[in-house]
Structure 1
């Protein structure tokens, strides 16, 4: 039996960062677990934590069920160095290497329009970007 992988991304502001990933990659809000009808209802089922605030988490999933679910978890500590694990996103499509590279560059420009920052470009292969909180990811 294969084990499903979910990703947790530590961040300062989960809701705006989740909005970036939704706009950039087509992810959607993850529904709450049954029997709850809203995420707020699910959160309210836990004992109150005085250290929590209203924006301490956001949950997303790939609507096609291919990519992993992503949980954006609020942490108080700032990001201080490169994360040792990063996300790789693959641009779909077929064609010549030049056509593939054109699709990757166009996707990178679109994602930059959603709030990403370009860190590096490896001609013909992939682009390294950072999300609005500085978390690195590759687009290839």
Structure 2
């Protein structure tokens, strides 16, 4: 049994490149026999007015094949409440790495993601707990953590 992670959004053209960079993923190729995702969606009956502009690339895959596929599902409403599920971007190396080094790694990724349109929401620097992480929001406001 497999699974994919579905993220509701209003603009996959904005989130696909962001999350590809955040997770070191790549856009998923369209199904065999189709030059673009737009061609595929039209072939299965999705009306043109629902497709917007562009080639409709709305899916990411892990090039190593280890992580789940991600689909950015277009929904009409904007995000209004806190996520009940979020992504942890794990770049720090875990607790076997000294917290000072984890902080350097996390802060470097945070700076990269801010440059791509993310926002810092909160820094978690528990000196007593040997923890460091940053809660952020992607360009559409979905919360995630860099740890």
Q: Considering the TM-score relative to the shorter chain, is it more than 0.5? A: yes
The partner residue of 1:112 within 101, 111, 114 is 114
TM-score by length of 2: 0.82
- Tell me what 1:9 maps to: 7
Which whole-Å CA distance do the structure 1 matches of 2:97 and 2:85 have between them?
Answer: 30
- Tell me what 2:128 maps to: none
The answer to whether residue 96 in structure 2 is matched with residue 98 in structure 1 is: no
Shift of 1:50: 6.6
Structure 1 segment 40-79 matched on structure 2, within 5 A? 40-49=38-47, 52-54=50-52, 58-79=58-79
Shift of 1:22: 2.1
TM-score by length of 1: 0.86
Shift of 1:134: 0.3
Which whole-Å CA distance do the structure 1 matches of 2:84 and 2:58 have between them?
Answer: 22
What are the ranges of 5 or more consecutive residues in structure 1 without an aligned counterpart? none
Shift of 1:97: 2.4
What are the ranges of 5 or more consecutive residues in structure 2 without an aligned counterpart? 126-130
Let me know the Cα RMSD of the aligned residues.
2.0
Aligned length: 138
Shift of 1:108: 0.9
Shift of 1:103: 0.7
Question: Using a 3 Å threshold, how does the CA distance of structure 1 residues 48 and 72 change in structure 2: closer, same or farther?
Answer: closer
